[in-house]
Amino acid sequence: MPADLQIDQLNEATPLLQLLHVSISPQKTPTRLLVNNVSFSIDAGKTTCVVGESGSGKSLTALSIMGLLSKQLQLNTGKVLFNDANDGVQDLTMLNEASLQKIRGAKIAMIFQEPMTSLNPVLTVGYQIGESLTTHLGFKGERLKAKIASLLEMVGIPPNRANSYPDELSGGQRQRVMIAMSIACEPRLLIADEPTTALDVTVQAQILKLLDDLKTRMNMGMLFITHDFGVVADIADHVVVMFRGEIVESGTKAQVLGNPQHPYTKALLACVPDAEGKKALKPIDYAWLKQEQVA
């Protein structure tokens, strides 16, 4: 598998996060693999985009990193190696819940797709941003308040909105709050699961730029999940293409976008509408894909 080859090369540079041969299945039917032998890595200060359609296993892969898989699912095989500056390389799949809890939010943070449903409606956004600061870093009182204000400012929300409730904010602002929450403890790795899918194009552009800036400024690694190659072109360094639970292609952005090898990658690229309107839209022909894969 070419994906493996690449991991070996990257090994020398010890990436921030390495997924090795991760497979996920329902607990009742261990042979039905929802994610099959997935390996890729994320470097500090770089963005790896996982691209695929719904059902391709991209979100499950992300959840498995944090140990957040639903109870009906299990990690069949695989390692998730997290390279932490202090603790050295740890296999996250081997950690117990308490140790994972210390990593979640502090060293690895996640942004979810739906800014409408992932915030608690009865708590102010300031409180929600401060929660992880108190839990992980013991921030309190004035110091906490000042930190919340600076985080809000960082994501482009007036600091006085700390006392607002989520329903008082627009979709884009809520996603900014989610981002402020996730970067509060300055995580080493940020996992963003379709963070802009629910947003308008103009707001999406702002959020993508914000994430890209923060990534550079804080030297975070970012795992960015999307189904839209247009977004990939804007934000990715590395690209991993998933189809039905497997990686069909991976490489740098220039390789995957410029010279796609796998028929599925080509098909997925062909169904993105281009702004010039020159290219005809071509939906994915799955029957043809199947033949192509067998051949």
- Smaller CB distance to other proteins: residue 1 or 271? 271
Rg (CA), the chain: 19
- Smaller CB distance to other proteins: residue 42 or 199? 199
Provide the pairing of β-strand 35-42 with 47-51: unpaired
- Smaller CB distance to other proteins: residue 144 or 267? 267
Least Cβ distance, residue 219 to other proteins (angstroms)? 23
Q: Which tokens go with 287? A: 């029957």
Provide the pairing of β-strand 246-252 with 238-243: antiparallel
- Smaller CB distance to other proteins: residue 84 or 228? 228
User: What whole-number distance in Å separates Cα of residue 201 and Cα of residue 203?
Assistant: 5
- Smaller CB distance to other proteins: residue 88 or 277? 277
One-letter identity of residue 253: K
Q: Which tokens go with 193? A: 């699961």
Q: How far is Cα of residue 232 from the mean position of the Cα atoms in its chain? A: 12
Least Cβ distance, residue 292 to other proteins (angstroms)? 16
Least Cβ distance, residue 184 to other proteins (angstroms)? 27
Least Cβ distance, residue 256 to other proteins (angstroms)? 9
Least Cβ distance, residue 275 to other proteins (angstroms)? 5
Strands (E), 160-227: 189-193, 221-226
Least Cβ distance, residue 4 to other proteins (angstroms)? 22
- Smaller CB distance to other proteins: residue 84 or 234? 234
- Smaller CB distance to other proteins: residue 189 or 199? 199
Least Cβ distance, residue 155 to other proteins (angstroms)? 18
Strands (E), the chain: 17-26, 35-42, 47-51, 73-84, 88-91, 108-111, 189-193, 221-226, 238-243, 246-252
* Residues contributing to the site for other proteins (CB under 8 A): 53-54, 170-171, 200-205, 208, 227-234, 253-255, 257-259, 267-268, 271-277, 281-284
User: What whole-number distance in Å separates Cα of residue 103 and Cα of residue 129?
Assistant: 17
User: What whole-number distance in Å separates Cα of residue 75 and Cα of residue 11?
Assistant: 23
